[in-house]
Amino acid sequence: MAFNCGESSLVFLLTLFVAVLPFVTSQHRCMSLTIDSCKGLKYNRTLFPNFENHRTQGIAATMVNHFNPLFKVKCSPDLKYFVCSYYAPVCNTLGTLIPPCRSLCESAKRSCSTIMKNFGYAWPSQLACEKFPASPEQKLCVGRNTSNTTPKRAKTIPTRHTRTQIIKAGGTTRIVNYAATLPPTTARLMTEFLCPIEQKAPNDLHRFLGKSNCGAPCENIYFTADERKISRIWTGFWSTVCAASTVFTLLTFFIDMARFRYPERPIIFLSGCYFMVSIAFFAGFVAKDKIACNDPVSEASNKTLTQGTKNEGCTVIFMMIYFFYMAASIWWVVLTLTWFLAAGMKWGHEAIENNSQFFHLVAWVIPAVKTIAILVLTEVDGDELTGVCFVGLSSESAPRGFVLGPLIVYFCIGTFFLLSGFISLFRVRSVLKNDGDKREKIEKLMIRIGVFSILYMVPAITVIGCLSYEQGNREKWRQSWRDAFLRERSKCIVVSGKSCPKIVGQQRPDFAVFLVKYLMFLIVGVTSGFWVWSTKTLGSWRRLYTRLKPAKNELSS
């Protein structure tokens, strides 16, 4: 019976995680258009996931590249625009996917399907023209890419970036770029971001504002040099404190292992995880820019942030932080689950310990699978504020799917088990009205559990809040910096290799939020020692000293 209850709880954890992960990664987000075959069209921002539910532009690019031979022969002037507007939909203020119009599809198919038949290929079923809106009156759609003249009485719907419009008039809807009415050179300078020579990156895994082989500057584009220095010192100090606290907790466990049985045992594994996280942050502090940044690729280049998995040091530090931080979050869930089994289900120490292999399976396998997935997707980025590497610092979807979403799920599940255990203890306490000793023990246990839970839950909520703040504003900060860069374009000559002046966007992150986030990443390792801060710990260390003292006397004699 105990096995069935524990097994069903673990299955519930895994099922809920699998169910929530697709949800947190399915929200439509605008991003810079990076598909090479679609560049040069009248829009430079796209919306993903697309109509085929592709979550990354890399997957969509493989589908678009199938049409490259047709693009080269130029069988239809509308083919590229039609294919790209389907696989890389236009970003817009509505936040919804706007399909291409049927007339655009028919124009592309009419001219190119004959060539495809000659080589034994049929028009793709997913691009069947019947599935697209017949007219804008039926449903808003993207029409032909003609923008030489502006129709009279045109009704404009601005997108979230003001350089592009969706113009609806005369029975057609099309995308028009404001810069189309300007001289070509001026339009290019106003709308296109060119990667500065000093930001040339060592491989194609690096992307900065949509440009491949372009890395973000090692010196943060949002924060000053003084803020960067403060952040390094801040994380270095707290990683040292965290490491010292967790080492004391682990040593206390090793000198008196029989004292820490289930349901308290997960606290030890949680402390061990935070010890590894603190070591990784301390390594970033000591290494300075050697982990988070690449060396310049040429004399004209500067250091750029590491992206991808080709920097071994960055990859190792990422794995240490992400794997053990996620494992610590799951050990918190296991801790609350074992408290619930002990208090609510009346399981004994032995019954809980008999299922410990399942706890270890969940706590170590799930983070390992997610870590491998991130490495496969190459969503590893350097963090110039701390000198370490983490997941998706330059991405929109990766932090939601691999960090923010799981942390919310783990926190909610742990809170559920914690409250259930407290309710059970309250019921037991009310029954033991005449047994003062047992009632007092239960009250002390409830106080300790309550204090420890607060010491964990407050930092966990704070980290979730800081990550949500970043997710909600990252695109706005990036776009603000890009606009400022384009405004200051005339002050530097990218082609000649001269460095641009320090660019500061009108909207930038709050530095204090990042300091709080780094503190809360490490503070649980300090507060996890709360459970061993007691007279029993003093007794354990005193007994150890007593055992070692005779050995010292024998050696001296």
Q: Which residue do the tokens 């619930």 mark?
A: 340
Does the pLDDT at position 155 exceed 80?
Answer: no
- Of 290-294, 321-325, 430-434, 535-539, the range with the lowest mean pLDDT is 430-434
Q: What is the pLDDT of residue 488?
A: 67
Quickly list DSSP for 161-217: STTEEEEEETTEEEEEEGGGGS-HHHHHHHH-PPPPGGGB-SSTT-EETTEETB--B
pLDDT band at 406; cut points 50, 70, 90: very high
For the chain, what's the residue count? Answer: 557
- Is residue 99 within 8 A of residue 142, CB to CB? The reply is yes
pLDDT digits (tens, 9 = 90+) for 239-260: 999 999 999 999 999 888 888 8
Does the pLDDT at position 20 exceed 80?
Answer: no
Does the pLDDT at position 153 exceed 90?
Answer: no
Distance from C-alpha of 44 to C-alpha of 190, rounded to nearest angstrom? 12
CB atoms within 10 A of CB 477: 17
Q: What is the pLDDT of residue 516?
A: 96
Cis peptide before 263 (omega within 30 of 0): yes
Does the pLDDT at position 551 exceed 60?
Answer: no
Tokens describing residue 381 = 């980025």
Task: Give pTM, 2 decimals.
Answer: 0.64
Over range 14-29, report the average pLDDT: 47
Sequence-ordered list of residues with C-beta below 8 angstroms from that of 486, at least 6 positions apart, any chain:
189, 190, 191, 193
pLDDT digits (tens, 9 = 90+) for 477-522: 888 887 777 766 555 544 334 455 566 667 889 999 999 999 999 9
- Is residue 203 within 8 A of residue 310, CB to CB? The reply is yes
Tokens describing residue 316 = 């190792």
Of 15, 50, 53, the residue nearest 31 (C-alpha):
50
In terms of pLDDT, which residue wins out, 455 or 447?
A: 455
- Of 131-140, 238-247, 313-322, the range with the lowest mean pLDDT is 131-140
Angle between helices 2-24 and 405-431 (to 10 degrees): 150
Tokens describing residue 533 = 């801060």
Q: Which residues pair with 293 in a beta bridge?
A: 305
Distance from C-alpha of 265 to C-alpha of 414, rounded to nearest angstrom? 16
- Is residue 483 within 8 A of residue 453, CB to CB? The reply is no
Of 291, 310, 108, the residue nearest 203 (C-alpha):
310
Q: Which residue do the tokens 């003249």 mark?
A: 149
Report, in angstroms and rounded to the nearest whole number, the Rg of the chain calculated over CA atoms.
29
Q: What is the pLDDT of residue 521?
A: 93
Q: What is the pLDDT of residue 438?
A: 61
Does the pLDDT at position 9 exceed 50?
Answer: no
- Of 139-148, 266-275, 412-421, the range with the lowest mean pLDDT is 139-148
Look over the chain and give the mean of its residue pLDDT values, rounded to a whole number. 79
Does the pLDDT at position 273 exceed 60?
Answer: yes
- Is residue 91 within 8 A of residue 45, CB to CB? The reply is yes
Backbone angles phi, psi at 168, to 5 degrees: -120, 115
Distance from C-alpha of 347 to C-alpha of 294, rounded to nearest angstrom? 53
Cis peptide before 49 (omega within 30 of 0): yes
Task: Tell me which range, 102-111, 155-164, 419-428, 431-440, is most confidently predicted by mean pLDDT.
Answer: 102-111
Q: What is the pLDDT of residue 68?
A: 87
Q: Which residues pair with 217 in a beta bridge?
A: 304
Q: Which residue do the tokens 């009108």 mark?
A: 506
CB atoms within 10 A of CB 349: 14
Q: What is the pLDDT of residue 145?
A: 54
Over range 285-305, report the average pLDDT: 85
Percentage above 90 pLDDT, the chain = 31
Of 336, 528, 360, the residue nearest 414 (C-alpha):
336
Q: Which residues pair with 174 in a beta bridge?
A: 167
Q: What is the pLDDT of residue 500?
A: 54
Evaluated on CA atoms 242, 244, 245, 251, the torsion sign reads: positive
- Is residue 360 within 8 A of residue 11, CB to CB? The reply is no
Over range 195-200, report the average pLDDT: 75
Over range 350-366, report the average pLDDT: 92
pLDDT band at 190; cut points 50, 70, 90: very low
Angle between helices 266-287 and 225-255 (to 10 degrees): 140
Q: What is the pLDDT of residue 160?
A: 35
Q: Which residues pair with 214 in a beta bridge?
A: 200
